[in-house]
Homo-oligomer: A and B are copies of this chain.
């Protein structure tokens, strides 16, 4: 009954390192056979050195993905290198050609069909040719603002509209996340960052597309807004200070319309000093659903969990490119 999956970790930035720790903690269920990263500071080192563990693991970080995949023949690759598909889809192709299924944190992969239809088609084709499965997942996108919303509608006969609210206390999260949401910067700096088009959460559009596809709804227009949350108080985190009147974080919200009808509302606030962190899904339907995760889903660890818990899912799924709506409901794996 119990299975052991041979796993390669591809990308060991902060999330990838957390994945490694979790992988190593799931001894009988997962066998870590290789680690890939291009950072010269990490290449050639034993994983234990990177993670500051007492005992060497015998697994050395390599920048040669082809070599690692050929030598180790993993069942599944846990992939955490980039948010953007265009930058790294060749990495996914490489894994597939080596017969490895992939669980990836790439936000754009959670629903690749609209932004990158050609890439999605190629990934699906190559995955099928090689009998493997490729899945993009994570806590958001991939769970909190899409899969959980879909799951909530499972008990509804009618659904008129869905509202998802995620409020995250960034003050409790890792430093990169606090930076990512702009905690402590001025309003002008926020405006400048926003103007680059590379600021804010990645995934609201993907989540809207995922929900719509799951419900077979037509969405012909998506509106997306990014505003600062201005701090009404002085907040000190272990990493930075936010003064009253400065930016505490982001308020990123998106709406999906069919004609004039607003069907989907996704509202994400990630800021330092949030007083009511939570994940909430409200389904206006029959019966209605008012679902809340009190305190919210803690993103740093939850992101890792969705990836690691996806290992048996991609291994068992039919070949091809999949999204979280296509695979059995995600649940914990290797916990005993």
Identify the A interface with B (CB < 8 A): 1-2, 22, 25, 139, 143-144, 147-148, 150-151, 153-159, 214-218, 258, 285-287, 289-295, 297-298, 301-302, 304-306, 308-309, 318, 324-336
Contacts and interface: CB of A to CB of B under 8 A. Distances in A.
Nearest to A282: B294
Given A159-B332, A289-B297, 5 more contacts: A154-B332, A156-B302, A258-B336, A289-B293, A329-B329
A-B pairs, top 6 by smallest CB distance, nearest first, are A154-B330, A153-B332, A287-B298, A155-B302, A150-B331, A329-B329
A181 to B, nearest CB: 19
A32 to B, nearest CB: 15
Contact of A143 (B155, B293, B294): B155
A317 to B, nearest CB: 10
A138 to B, nearest CB: 10
Contacts of A218: 336
Q: How many monomers of this protein are in the complex?
A: 2
Contacts of A151: 147-148, 151, 329-331
A325 B285 CA distance: 25
Contacts of A332: 153-154, 156-159, 215, 285
A151 B293 CA distance: 12
A199 to B, nearest CB: 26
Contacts of A293: 289-292
Nearest to A162: B332
Contacts of A301: 157, 286-287
A291 B280 CA distance: 9
Contacts of A2: 216
Contacts of A306: 154-155
A325 B328 contact: yes
Nearest to A155: B302
Contacts of A1: 216
A139 B153 CA distance: 12
Contacts of A215: 331-333, 335-336
A308 B290 CA distance: 21
Q: A155, A215, A217, A293 — which one has the most chain B CB atoms within 10 A of its CB? A: A155
A292 to B, nearest CB: 5
A150 to B, nearest CB: 4
Contacts of A292: 291-294
Given A287-B297, A325-B328, A305 B154 contact: yes
A325 B156 CA distance: 19
Given A151-B148, A329-B154, A335 B285 contact: yes
Q: A156, A301, A309, A327 — which one has the most chain B CB atoms within 10 A of its CB? A: A156
Contact of A305 (B156, B297, B309): B156
B329 A155 contact: no
A336 B217 CA distance: 7
B290 A291 contact: no
